[in-house]
Amino acid sequence: MNHEYLDLQTVAHVEGAVRLPGSKSISNRILLLAALSQGKVAIVDLLASDDTAVMLAALRALGVEWTEEKTATGTIHHVTGVAGVLPNKSADLFMGNAGTAIRPLTAALAVIGGDYTLHGVPRMHERPIGDLVDALNAAGTNVEYTGNPGFPPLHIKQGKITTQRLSVRGDVSSQFLTALLMVAPLMATEHAITIDVVGELISKPYIEITLNLIRRFGVKVEQNGWESFTVQPGQVYQSPGTIHVEGDASSASYFLAAGAIGGGPVRVEGVGNNSIQGDVRFAAALEQMGAQITMGDNWIEARANGPLKAIDADFNHIPDAAMTIAVAALYADGPSTLRNIASWRVKETDRIAAMATELRKVGATVEEGPDYIKVTPPAAIAAATIDTYDDHRMAMCFSLVALDGALRKGAPTRINDPKCVNKTFPDYFTAFAKIAK
């Protein structure tokens, strides 16, 4: 058991600016694309966190060369692409609890072939990967489960792509489709490859990120709505030279919500009008709750505009940032319902169950369903010790219950295992303290 904790005192007002760490989703996608491409890639502002460290270590174990350069303004990672041919044909890879690393990497290794084992922390072995593996093996790859069928750990051997069409379920995790899209050019050596999506595709904005980055690396993807995607043969990833990583829009949600609850203005720098991340739409949800939002090309600012209003909305498009809405709902003028969030159950922890448990500790009445959560705010927020389930977003979300809002005062809060924020935002609590007045 981890006995470390952090005590947060109540915060009367928040104000200030926060420079966001790089986006996890963009960072790990760019790392793999850079590794697979032809030429050298300079990646500016790559996220420094557990999840990117896992991907960097895996690439090094596979023989991909990279170096890190510290500059006055940040870091630049120089990656030498291997043009789809990995120097090391066998490796044992530890993937932590990084879904954004293990899923695309599994697809790449399966298509390239070799002798590779992939494993992670115990929770990673409970996070589904079966839909991806089934799609790959049906196309001719050779991926075996060495533990529970449908879940890591995995053993990848040499296979041969024998098909021109793959189909993958879209309703468990968009990362399965992301993984197949990223390796489609490696499969399309002689024939076009088409990927069909079976059922409803969730978290579409994350697929938008994937398509945007694939195109930045010089590969064209033809799209038939959200039903199918085709990559023509003979395309090879090309280095874009230098590529910048946007600030993490999911991480922005905590500071924007703080501004909406606790006065503001709070400005986040690193994302804005031009962002390729769907999670910037979180700002629109706060606006629906009555917050005042302003945006520039590379910043978003939130301030309170009176008490927050309750919300009843579909959050399928921003599942990660929606967790922040569930906590902001404590400060609203009535019950809020977050719908279509079944993917919460297969994330770093079962987030619907975890969120319901911890919200009840601070006094809320919570109704949870298979794919929704309804939060009725308490008359007063109660002091509590919050468990974080080794889930970075639980720790960051619940820092907000220390804030004084228009309708309710915050309460002193103890966050257990605060270091779990290292997954995406190691300096989170320092940044939070800076805006707390």
Q: Known catalytic residues?
A: 320
The Cα-based distances of 67 to 55, 70, 78, 151, 424 in angstroms read 14, 10, 5, 32, 21
Tokens of 228: 């199918």
CA 153/CA 149 separation, integer angstroms: 9
| Longest CA span, the chain | 65
Both tokens of 227, joined, read: 């039903």
Measured in whole angstroms, how far is the alpha carbon of residue 292 from the centre of its chain?
Answer: 26
Alpha-carbon gap, residue 318 to 332, rounded angstroms: 20
Q: Which is nearest to 421 in space by CA: 99, 94, 21, 12?
A: 21
Q: What is the CA radius of gyration of the chain?
A: 21
Would you state the torsion angle of the CA atoms of residues 290, 296, 300, 305, taken in this order, to the nearest 10 degrees?
-30
Cα–Cα distance, 413 to 371 (Å, whole number): 28
Q: CB neighbours (10 Å) of residue 67?
A: 9
Q: How many CA atoms lie within 13 A of 146 on its CB side?
A: 11
Q: Give the Cα separation of 404 and 345 in Å (integer).
A: 30
d(CA 237, CA 147) in angstroms, rounded, equals 34
Q: Report the distance separating Cα 136 and Cα 143, nearest Å.
A: 8
